[in-house]
Amino acid sequence: MGSDSILTPIIKPMPIPTQVEEEVEEEDPPIPTTALLSFNTDHSSSPTPSKPTTTTLLFISLLLTTFISLSAALTFAFLFFSHTSQPIPQFARPLTKLNHPVVLLISSDGFRFGYQFKTPTPNIHRLINQGTEADLGLIPVFPTLTFPNHYAIATGLYPAYHGIINNLFFDPHTGDTFFMGSHDPKWWLGEPLWETVVNHGLKAATYFWPGSEVKKGSWTCPEDLCKHFNYSVPFEERVDTVLQYFDLPSSEIPVFMTLYFEDPDHQGHKVGADDPEITEAVARIDRMIGRLIQGLEQRGVFEDVSIIMVGDHGMVGTCDKKLFFLEDLSPWIEIPQDWVQSYSPLLAIRPPPSFSPVDIVAKMNEGLNSGKVENGKNLKVYLKEELPSRLHYSGSDRIPPIVGLIEESFKVEQKRSERKECGGSHGYDNAFFSMRTIFIGHGPQFARGRKVPSFENVQIYNLVTSILNIQGAPNNGTASFPKSILLPRH
């Protein structure tokens, strides 16, 4: 599910220009001048009787034109401001066909915030315009990788607490390896939404979501409601299968569903964030959203279903000139390959017990700060407990003791080679704007045309349980957060 790399740097995100309504002071109409009043191109010495009449008519014409222009401007201003300042409804819209709330959680992997403007996306923008959007995007958790973020969305927990701290990692106690096909429940901590729903005696259906294939607690991944990931399944088939759930009797429709697309992450890793291939991938996702909307409308339930569309992370271009090589640190310290659990965008090092992580970090940073290491200023190495607290990335034994934060777009490799690459990656510090993704909510409890400030994706768990009116499991989200996003019920 996305050929994710790994994580990091600490940089202030560059603000993206936003559309701001500006108040433009309208200039006063010009005061008529003598030249205008005595408009006279006839230089003969004897005045004609028609000249005063022409001047008067011209003056009246100018006054009428000015009056009409001002009237049109005032009318436009009234219509514009009366439209944009419509009050947000005070209560959620009532269900018209379904007899219970339904949440459909959709993920478009690697959908960087801003992709929705790369090409016409009429269907995604229909959800935006008729729903609620995180104005400057959704903030992923660190590391900004597929599995840590999808499971953070599902559990409301940071990776240190839900256990999936990377796409590939090792258990320091058993030596076992986690990879993206691992379904042993020992790796997957916390309580994901599908398990929470089933715990309340309700039905959930998952169509590809990291962790949903794991049989854990009361969730058994039933064959008819839990699809195992298969890259070859066409996107259209995925959408149509979800739509078929709405053909069931209303009381049997699952109250929670997931739908996953691996694009545009798939293309982003190959070509970066700005290639025409990305544009086509975004257009394809929009067509799938259109297919979904049309199917829900045909069934008369579009306005009843709460659609939450998100991505898991963003994407940034990477090229060979932005590389750092661990072998360049050899004058200060040797970092053997078998110490390194991941290179980039998250450098993770677990040395043998006989080596001091404190000494290793000190020597690595000495070399990096010496000015003698190519691109050394673009890597900062930490003991995990000394990482910025905002990353929430220290409270698990699965996280190696040494973590390197890499500057945006840079990559770390063991040693120099002839291999050439220029593509895209993610996994970096979630403070980078390039790592942001989208949040769009459409449904009875989402106000139409509303923009909300950006927030971290761990808040989505409580948002879903609030819509479904069920008690969620303990998590890292804020209990009061749904009140800031959702319209209250009557």
Check: CB of residue 158 under 8 Å from CB of residue 141.
yes
Check: CB of residue 168 under 8 Å from CB of residue 471.
no
Q: Looking at the DSSP assignment, which residues form a beta bridge with residue 145?
A: none
Check: CB of residue 313 under 8 Å from CB of residue 145.
yes
Say whether the peptide bond before residue 345 is cis (omega within 30 degrees of 0).
yes
* CA distance linking residue 179 with residue 192, whole number of Å: 19
* CA distance linking residue 425 with residue 423, whole number of Å: 7
Check: CB of residue 345 under 8 Å from CB of residue 428.
yes
* Residue where the block lists tokens 């006279």: 40
33 flagged as catalytic:
no
Q: How many CB atoms lie within 10 A of CB 380?
A: 21
* CA distance linking residue 192 with residue 218, whole number of Å: 11
Check: CB of residue 168 under 8 Å from CB of residue 178.
yes
Task: Indicate which residue of 8, 144, 146, 155 is catalytic.
Answer: 146
Say whether the peptide bond before residue 87 is cis (omega within 30 degrees of 0).
no
* CA distance linking residue 250 with residue 305, whole number of Å: 12
Q: Which of 284, 18, 296 is nearest to 130 (CA)?
A: 296
Say whether the peptide bond before residue 264 is cis (omega within 30 degrees of 0).
yes
Q: Which residues are catalytic?
A: 146
